[in-house]
Amino acid sequence: MGNANQTASVTEFVLLGLSAHPKLEKTFFVLILLMYMVILLGNGVLILVTVSNSHLHTPMYFFLRNLSFLDICYTTSSVPLILNSFLTPRKTIPFSACAVQMFLSFAMGATECVLLSMMAFDRYVAICNPLRYPVIMSKAAYMPMAASSWAAGSTASMVQTSLAMRLPFCGDNIINHFTCEILAVLKLACADISVNVISMGVTNVIFLGVPVLFISFSYVFILATILRIPSAEGRKKAFSTCSAHLTVVVIFYGTILFMYGKPKSKDPLGADKQDIADKLISLFYGVVTPMLNPIIYSLRNKDVKAAVRNLVFQKCFPQ
């Protein structure tokens, strides 16, 4: 009965964030706010450009619109909460709001993993089978591919969030994070979490391991095809069509590997510094990648650059 009463009393969580460093909070509030505005502007413009320009109504830019919309949703699911926590002394979040935020963040992250692999397949078909590209990547194919990415990410998130939030939470309700990050929440459960750990492991293999292998094999075939092109100009043109996607993939997965693959410090003082560093890396991972995506696609894609220039010219000099 005592445990039941304790469990029922946990109606909210406290987000620790940078509470021990109030000076850093003010600095990072301004920095994260500026980056969030760039994310909304950059991805919003990219969506507007690819929708309004008929030349960009192709499978590649359809996936790109999905990626931009996903990045807006991903950051909006967490950044306003983080900004609010920087301004308020008591950083609490209701149990139900924590579940919603956890679901949205996990869903967007898992969806992006699948979507990037779909974009790799699109580039593989475009370069390795250009004559069959209109047939293979027809509207009847690429729209279900994008929809399945969203469905798979949402389903995985629903499963993980349900497993996490049905656990009993008694006693400590302080989350050592900026948001309701699922691993940080699981540490507070006062019950066996082995099912959650196994489920998370399987999900990571499906949504991280499989897409990475798929993308890697796709680019092995893409590079092999590009190297067989006789002219240097032809090789350059072929590579330019996939260089932006490859850059985004390297940044996205590279940051994940850096975050979770680096060794942990055993020294107490070093562990404290590493804890702050881990939080900041996680914080910037959530905003830097969505901020860079539209910049990369704008700088490394001639069609997008031309469409942006035309849109700006039309708005500034209407006829």
Angle, vertex CA 289, rays to CA 288 and CA 295, nearest 5: 90
pLDDT band at 268 (very low <50, low <70, confident <90, very high): very low
pLDDT higher than 60, residue 272: no
Tens digits of residue pLDDT in 224-233: 999 998 888 8
Q: With 70 as the cut, is the pLDDT of residue 284 above it?
A: yes
The 10s digit of each residue's pLDDT in 64-78 is 999 999 999 999 999
Residues 179-213, buried b or exposed e (16+ Cβ, 10 A)? Answer: bbbbebbbebbeeebeebeebbeebeeebbeebbe
Lowest mean pLDDT among 13-17, 53-57, 306-310: 306-310
Overall average pLDDT of the 301-312 stretch: 71
Residue 5: which residues within 8 A CB-CB, separation 6 or more? none
User: CA 78 from chain center: how many Å?
Assistant: 11
183: which 2 tokens? 């691993």
Determine the average pLDDT of the residues in 22-49.
90
pLDDT-derived band at 107, boundaries 50, 70, 90: very high
Predicted confidence (pLDDT) at residue 281 exceeds the cutoff of 80: no
pLDDT in tens, 163-208: 998 888 887 888 888 888 888 888 888 888 999 999 999 999 999 9
Per-residue pLDDT tens over the stretch 116-136: 999 999 999 999 999 999 999
Cα angle value 61/63/68 (rounded, 5°): 90
Q: How confident is the model at residue 7 (pLDDT cuts 50, 70, 90)?
A: very low
Give the global pTM: 0.87
**Nearest CA among 109, 214, 100 for reference residue 162:** 100
Tell me the percentage of the chain whose pLDDT exceeds 90: 46
**Three-class secondary structure of residue 181 per DSSP:** coil
- As a whole number, the mean pLDDT across the chain is 85
276 SS3 class: helix
Query: What are the backbone angles phi and psi of residue 168, rounded to the nearest 5°?
Result: -80, 135
